[in-house]
């Protein structure tokens, strides 16, 4: 809807555009990676066939659509690895890894040979000059991520999740010459016996998810849902592995996709600030009796003015500030000692006009009070943002 990236990806791969329009915002809210991926895709994808994308114009090279998909997939995998390594089992890391697993699942359904992808990647990244034209009879690249025909028996195509004709979204049009799916066998003809793998796997997945709920007792509601969904998804994943070996398990891909999207959604919700405000918010606290104070914004801009706090000599107070998407600016008094602990996921952290650029910008330092009094009050300031900027200034 912004640059046509999701519509272009849906049209090229044959996967419902809604899948992409859900995935990008979830990644953006979870760890900010969706914003970077969307910008990269907009730079690499041309607006119209036959035209050069901004990235191609800058590099003076042309790249085919499969190369663009491989590059985006590699960036997604790298981001998932970095997020998982730096964030542990946080909601953002879980979301990134789950999206990457979905991409691998879709690529496997397209019969992508990952060994060929790695082997041909250097040649693909070199591209070709803008005036390059393929001579007649030139074979197609050995690796294709674009849907060109029916999938193997036993696989479910994500394109089947598209809306019906006439609803919102653009249905997938098979390329000319593509084979039609086999018709249902007539009554009385021999047919392949129905597989019980999907039913058994789904039954075991539900039992495992139900058994995980008591184990997750004591966690928040979103945490219980995450643990149950992750347990069920793990069982479905094992069923998919078994189905790929024995050629069975129809329908497990759809259920795996549904569970994955549900798991990602709860991960993003769990990362959102509890009781967070929306829009532009201004705080000017004047009560210093509480030893800890918290201020949260979900989406918008926050301004926190701590200069009016009546702090006495030697008094210590902790202030927490959190914003999911937007900007959070904090003003601190010059007569107080301020211990800063800033972390910006996708954004910048600025302290007295000193900029620390993201992503994952971190600032840990101490601002000494003016005049260096013997027993100054201390403000322990903890600020965190998911997608946005943090700024601390002296009043």
Q: What is the pLDDT of residue 393?
A: 94
Q: What is the pLDDT of residue 326?
A: 86
| Beta strands 361-367 and 337-346, pairing class | antiparallel
Tokens representing residue 235 in the block: 């069982």
Q: What is the pLDDT of residue 214?
A: 80
Q: What is the pLDDT of residue 318?
A: 94
Q: Per residue in 89-99, pLDDT tens?
A: 556 666 677 77
Indicate whether 317 pLDDT > 90: yes
Alpha helices in the chain (DSSP H): 5-13, 17-31, 33-44, 54-59, 65-87, 91-109, 114-126, 197-215, 221-246, 252-271
Tokens representing residue 279 in the block: 């829009």
Q: Per residue in 174-228, pLDDT tens?
A: 444 444 444 444 444 444 444 577 778 888 888 888 888 887 777 777 677 777 8
Cis peptide bond N-terminal to 150, omega within 30: no
Q: Per residue in 78-87, pLDDT tens?
A: 877 776 666 5
Q: Per residue in 277-296, pLDDT tens?
A: 788 899 999 988 888 899 99
Q: Token pair 């075991």 is at which residue?
A: 204
Q: What is the pLDDT of residue 270?
A: 63
Average pLDDT over residues 257-283: 73
Tokens representing residue 351 in the block: 């302290």
- Percent of the chain clearing pLDDT 70 (strictly above): 72
Q: What is the pLDDT of residue 272?
A: 62
Residue 210 φ/ψ, nearest 5 degrees: -65, -40
| Beta strands 292-305 and 277-283, pairing class | parallel
Query: Contact 28/34 with Cβ under 8 angstroms?
Result: yes
What is the Cα–Cα distance from 200 to 251, expressed in whole angstroms? Answer: 12
Q: What is the pLDDT of residue 295?
A: 92
Residue 218 host element (H or E): none
- Count of beta carbons in the 10 Å neighbourhood of residue 77: 16
Q: What is the pLDDT of residue 137?
A: 42
Q: 105: Cβ–Cβ under 8 A, 6 or more apart, which residues?
A: 240, 253, 256, 257
User: Taking each helix axis from N to C terminus, what angle separates 114-126 and 65-87, rounded to the nearest 10 degrees?
Assistant: 110
Query: Contact 233/241 with Cβ under 8 angstroms?
Result: no
Q: What is the pLDDT of residue 136?
A: 41
Query: Contact 259/233 with Cβ under 8 angstroms?
Result: yes
State the pLDDT confidence band at 337, using cuts at 50, 70 and 90: very high
Query: Contact 340/364 with Cβ under 8 angstroms?
Result: yes
- Evaluated on CA atoms 56, 62, 66, 71, the torsion sign reads negative
Please list the residues that pair with 380 across neighbouring strands. Answer: 318, 339
Q: What is the pLDDT of residue 31?
A: 64
Indicate whether 134 pLDDT > 50: no
Q: Per residue in 346-379, pLDDT tens?
A: 788 999 889 998 777 899 999 999 888 888 999 9
Indicate whether 123 pLDDT > 70: yes
Q: 91: Cβ–Cβ under 8 A, 6 or more apart, which residues?
A: 30, 226, 267, 268, 270, 271
Instruction: State the pTM of this model.
Output: 0.48
> Whole-number mean pLDDT of the chain?
75
Q: What is the pLDDT of residue 67?
A: 82
Q: What is the pLDDT of residue 14?
A: 78
Task: Say how far residue 250 (Cα) sits from the centre of its chain.
Answer: 27
What is the Cα–Cα distance from 69 to 9, expressed in whole angstroms? Answer: 9
């Amino acid at each position: 809807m912004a640059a046509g990236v999701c519509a272009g990806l849906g049209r090229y791969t044959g996967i419902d555009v809604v899948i992409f329009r859900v995935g990008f915002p979830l990644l953006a809210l979870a760890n900010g990676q969706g914003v970077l991926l969307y910008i990269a895709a907009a730079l690499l994808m041309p607006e119209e066939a036959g035209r050069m994308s901004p990235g191609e114009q800058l590099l003076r090279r042309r790249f085919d659509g499969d190369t663009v998909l491989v590059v985006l997939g590699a960036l997604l995998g790298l981001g998932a690895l970095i997020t998982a390594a730096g964030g542990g089992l946080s909601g953002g890391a879980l979301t990134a890894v789950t999206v990457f697993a979905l991409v691998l699942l879709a690529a496997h359904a397209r019969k992508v040979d990952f060994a060929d992808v790695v082997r041909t990647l250097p040649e693909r990244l070199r591209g070709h000059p803008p005036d390059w034209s393929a001579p007649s009879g030139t074979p197609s690249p050995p690796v294709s991520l674009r849907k060109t025909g029916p999938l193997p028996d036993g696989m479910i195509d994500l394109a089947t999740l598209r809306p019906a004709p006439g609803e919102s979204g653009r249905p997938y049009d098979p390329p000319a010459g593509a084979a039609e799916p086999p018709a249902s066998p007539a009554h009385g003809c021999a047919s392949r016996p129905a597989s019980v793998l999907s039913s058994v796997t789904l039954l075991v997945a539900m039992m495992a998810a139900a058994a995980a709920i008591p184990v997750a007792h004591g966690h928040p509601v979103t945490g219980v849902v995450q643990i149950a969904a992750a347990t069920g998804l793990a069982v479905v994943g094992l069923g998919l592995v078994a189905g790929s070996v024995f050629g069975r398990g129809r329908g497990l891909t759809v259920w795996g996709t549904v569970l994955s999207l549900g798991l990602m959604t709860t991960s993003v919700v769990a990362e959102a600030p509890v009781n967070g405000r929306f829009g532009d918010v201004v705080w000017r606290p004047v009560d210093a009796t509480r030893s800890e104070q918290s201020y949260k914004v979900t989406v918008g801009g926050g301004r926190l003015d701590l200069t009016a706090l009546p702090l006495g000599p030697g008094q210590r107070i902790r202030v927490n500030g959190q914003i999911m998407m937007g900007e959070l600016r904090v003003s601190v008094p010059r007569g107080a000692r301020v211990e800063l602990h800033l972390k910006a996921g996708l954004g910048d952290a600025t302290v007295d006009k000193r900029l620390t650029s993201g992503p994952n910008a971190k600032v840990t330092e101490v601002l000494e009070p003016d005049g260096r009094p013997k027993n100054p009050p201390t403000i322990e300031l903890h600020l965190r943002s998911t997608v946005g900027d943090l700024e601390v200034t002296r009043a």
